[in-house]
Amino acid sequence: MKWYASLFLLLWLHNLNAATVFAQTIKSAGVLNFKCNGQLFTADSTHARGYALKQTDAAFIKAANAENIVLSVEWKGMKGPGIYIITAREGNAVFTINHKTYVLKQTGDFIKIVISTVKQSGSFLLLSGTFEGQLQDKNGNKIKISEGKFETISL
């Protein structure tokens, strides 16, 4: 009997370890790129995502690469495909580009997001679309974000 219990325990631990390794190899996948003052920036595919929480109306676009960008946009009121204008009053946007941070700071600063596709994935809504806008740094230096595109394949 002990032999069967030991064998069962060994097989169970092997399956548990295999499931853990499999879960660790599944990574989010997406595409995000944009131009900042005309220069193209591209996020790493494992760090590019747009999503909303199914239970709430909160939405997020997050991206980064190893060299020169980290960005985060958050807003409430995501109802599905459509146009969303994010200002400092309606949400938050932080773009760190070439180690300098730009935010929604004053009137005229905005991020315009056009959600073209929404796909359900468990409790998340995967978003795809375009974006553009204007942000500024702490000294008031403005940047123009244009031709932004994102597609979320998986989280």
Rounded Cα gap, residues 17 and 23, in angstroms:
10
Number of H helices, E strands in the chain: 1, 11
Look at residue 120 in the predicted model and tell me its pLDDT.
Answer: 93
pLDDT in tens for each of the 155 residues of the chain? 444 444 343 433 344 443 333 334 446 789 999 999 999 999 999 999 999 998 899 999 999 999 999 999 999 999 999 999 999 998 999 999 999 999 999 989 999 999 999 999 988 999 999 999 999 999 999 999 999 999 999 98
Place of tokens 């990574």: 27
Residue type, 15: N
CA distance 61 to 19: 29
What is the tens place of the pLDDT at every residue in 18-59? 333 333 444 678 999 999 999 999 999 999 999 999 889 999
115: Cβ contacts below 8 Å, ≥ 6 apart = 50, 78, 80, 81, 82, 83, 84, 127, 128, 129
Q: What pLDDT is attached to residue 27?
A: 67
Alpha-carbon distance values, 121 to 94, 125, 133 (Å): 26, 6, 28
